Chain A
């Protein structure tokens, strides 16, 4: 990949926009299309692009495999933890109405946390599978 100046510069240019678009899809999911699943996949795609252009070693230095493997169960824990937190406030599992001072803000917090959990698990799983497949050598 030494000589592919155009590819490398274009990738450097595009990557921040992909990441910002992923965050937009994540946090604007309340108002427009999108949410944790879509944002997680977009963030994972940005990491894929980086790995394809700059090599797997570079990407693994930025996003270490151990972090990715922690992300896989962490998202589910955040999601289920939000549900348990709802039980602590005296409501049913995953009923967020009492998480903040009124129902609307409680729902907003609950949906935010749940979507964050989905984002973490989805992007972590995608990147972990990619690392596992791309890290193997041809026999």
Chain B
């Protein structure tokens, strides 16, 4: 509860502030808080990723981009009414959706009764890996992970193409 209130406070800070440097630092703090929430939920792998990507790498990249641009956000040109309406409606629909979910950690939900127990029981005899997260990620669902790696590869190549082309075009001017 304390973590969630802090998350809300940081979010309000990000929305209210106009100084981009402060916003980047607050986003880093937000990621650290999110990582703490993930640890509370026992998702240590996700927490590790959130802390290193969200708080570490993206903060550094944002600061690098900030060096190339101005540090003050320009005033919005549109009225904030429509975006506010869209996000309020989306939030309300999402909260309404959570009422249909089973309570957190229930043992007899489809998630916990379908194929999960097979993985839990089969991980040691079939793969010899005690950490079921790793055996599911790399062995049982290796195809999905190959897809994820390809997504990272494609995204990286796309970003590199955009940035490199800009850099190469500059000396011609």
What residues of chain A have their CB less than 8 Å away from a CB belonging to chain B? 25, 29-38, 41-42, 44-45, 48, 52, 69, 72-73, 75-76, 79-80, 83, 93-94, 96, 103-105, 107-108, 110-111, 114-115, 117-118, 121-122, 124-126, 128-130, 132-136, 138-139
Among B128, B150, B164, point to the contact of A104 (Cβ < 8 A). B128
Q: Are A41 and B128 in contact (CB under 8 A)?
A: no
Q: Known interface pairs A73-B153, A94-B146, A125-B156. Does A44 touch B129 (Cβ–Cβ under 8 Å)? A: no
Q: Are A34 and B45 in contact (CB under 8 A)?
A: yes
B35 CB to nearest chain A CB (Å): 12
Q: Known interface pairs A38-B52, A41-B56, A48-B57. Does A125 touch B152 (Cβ–Cβ under 8 Å)? A: yes
Instruction: Tell me if B134 counts as interface (CB < 8 A to partner A).
Output: yes
Instruction: Tell me if B155 counts as interface (CB < 8 A to partner A).
Output: yes
Q: Are B56 and A45 in contact (CB under 8 A)?
A: yes
Q: Are A94 and B143 in contact (CB under 8 A)?
A: yes
Among B60, B139, B160, B166, point to the contact of A110 (Cβ < 8 A). B139
A35 CB to nearest chain B CB (Å): 6
What residues of chain B have their CB less than 8 Å away from a CB belonging to chain A? 44-45, 48-49, 52-53, 56-57, 60-61, 64-65, 67-68, 126-131, 133-135, 137-139, 142-143, 145-146, 149-150, 152-153, 155-157, 159-160, 163-164, 166-167
Among A25, A121, A122, A135, point to the contact of B48 (Cβ < 8 A). A25
**Complex Cα distance A111/B60, Å?**
31
A107 CB to nearest chain B CB (Å): 4
A94 CB to nearest chain B CB (Å): 4
Write out the residue numbers on chain A whose beta carbons fall within 8 Å of the beta carbon of B57: 41, 44-45, 48, 126, 130
A-B pairs with beta carbons under 8 Å apart, 13 shown:
A35-B45, A35-B134, A35-B138, A72-B156, A76-B149, A107-B126, A107-B135, A110-B138, A111-B129, A121-B153, A125-B155, A129-B156, A136-B68
**Complex Cα distance A35/B160, Å?**
25
Q: Are A79 and B52 in contact (CB under 8 A)?
A: no
Nearest chain B residue, comparing its CB with the CB of A135: B167
Write out the residue numbers on chain A whose beta carbons fall within 8 Å of the beta carbon of B64: 130, 133-134
**Complex Cα distance A79/B156, Å?**
17
Write out the residue numbers on chain B whose beta carbons fall within 8 Å of the beta carbon of A134: 64
Q: Are B134 and A132 in contact (CB under 8 A)?
A: no
Q: Supply 8 further A-B pairs (C-beta < 8 A) apart from A31-B131, A114-B138.
A: A30-B129, A36-B138, A42-B52, A45-B52, A72-B160, A73-B157, A122-B149, A133-B163
Nearest chain B residue, comparing its CB with the CB of A43: B52
**Complex Cα distance A79/B49, Å?**
20
**Complex Cα distance A126/B60, Å?**
11
**Complex Cα distance A119/B145, Å?**
12
Q: Known interface pairs A69-B160, A132-B159. Does A114 touch B142 (Cβ–Cβ under 8 Å)? A: yes
Q: Are B65 and A108 in contact (CB under 8 A)?
A: no
Among B126, B133, B155, point to the contact of A103 (Cβ < 8 A). B126
